[in-house]
Amino acid sequence: MSRGCFDSRNMDPRILLQASLTLLIFVASSHGQHLKSGPRLKMDQALLTFHNQLTEEVQLFYTSDYCYKCVYQRLATVRPDNNNASVVISTRFTLTLQVESWTRNATLCRWSQAYGEGGHYSVWIQMSEAASEPSCTHSVDKRPNNTYLPILVSALLLAVIALLYFVAPSVYRRRCTSNFIETICCQGSQYSVDDEGEPAGEATTKAKPTRLRSLDTFRGFALTVMVFVNYGGGGYWFFQHAPWNGLTVADLVMPWFVFIIGTSVVLAFRSMQRRGVSRLQLLRKTTWRTVVLMMLGFCFLNYSPRDGPYFLGPERNPTEIGRRFTSHPRGFISSFSHLTRLGLVQLSGVETQYHWWNPVQDVVLYWPQWLIIILLETLWLCITFIMPVPNCPTGYLGAGGIGDNGLYPNCTGGAAGYIDRLMFGDNMYRYPTCKMMYHTTQPFDPEGVLGTINSIVMGFLGMQAGKIILSYKELNVHILGRFLAWAVVLGISAAILSKCTRDGGFIPVNKNLWSLSYVTCMGCFSFLLLGAMYFVTDVKGWWGGQPFIYPGMNSIFVYVGHSLLGFYFPFSWEMHFQQSHWEWLLQSLWGTALWVFIAYLLYRKKFFLKI
Residue 61, domain CATH: 2.60.40.4150
Same domain for 129 and 251, yes or no, is: no
Same domain for 117 and 260, yes or no, is: no
Same domain for 376 and 490, yes or no, is: yes
Domain that holds residue 488: 213-604
How much is the pLDDT for 59? 92
Residue 388 burial by Cβ neighbours in a 10 Å radius (0-12, 13-18, 19+): exposed
Question: Could you give phi then psi for residue 221, rounded to 5 degrees?
Answer: -65, -45
3-state secondary structure of 601: helix
Same domain for 134 and 224, yes or no, is: no
Domain membership flag for residue 91: yes
Same domain for 122 and 244, yes or no, is: no
Give residue-wise pLDDT tens across range 33-64.
333 345 678 888 999 999 988 888 899 999 99
Domain membership flag for residue 13: no
Same domain for 320 and 434, yes or no, is: yes
Known catalytic residues are 241
Same domain for 136 and 224, yes or no, is: no
> pLDDT category, 290, cuts 50, 70, 90?
confident
Integer Cα distance of 182 and 174 in angstroms: 11
Residue 308 burial by Cβ neighbours in a 10 Å radius (0-12, 13-18, 19+): exposed
- Number of domain units in the chain: 2
HSE toward the beta carbon, residue 81, CA cutoff 13 A: 0
Domain membership flag for residue 3: no
From first CA to last CA, the distance across the chain in angstroms is 56
How much is the pLDDT for 262? 87
Across residues 548-576, what is the average pLDDT? 85
DSSP-assigned beta bridge partners for residue 62 = 73, 97
Domain membership flag for residue 295: yes
Q: Among 92, 115, 142, give the residue marking a domain's end.
A: 142
Q: What is the DSSP letter of 365?
A: T
Q: Among 122, 142, 162, give the residue marking a domain's end.
A: 142
Same domain for 294 and 409, yes or no, is: yes
Domain membership flag for residue 10: no
Domain membership flag for residue 454: yes
Q: What is the DSSP letter of 510?
A: B
Q: Among 113, 142, 171, give the residue marking a domain's end.
A: 142
Give residue-wise pLDDT tens across range 207-216.
445 678 899 9
How much is the pLDDT for 277? 75
Greatest pairwise CA separation for the chain in angstroms = 102
Domain membership flag for residue 83: yes
Same domain for 138 and 247, yes or no, is: no
Domain membership flag for residue 36: no
How much is the pLDDT for 300? 55
Average pLDDT over all residues of the chain: 78
Same domain for 459 and 585, yes or no, is: yes
How much is the pLDDT for 239? 92
Give residue-wise pLDDT tens across range 505-537.
999 999 999 999 999 999 999 999 999 999 999
How much is the pLDDT for 18? 44
pTM as predicted = 0.81
Give residue-wise pLDDT tens across range 80-90.
888 889 999 99
Same domain for 114 and 252, yes or no, is: no
Across residues 365-370, what is the average pLDDT? 80
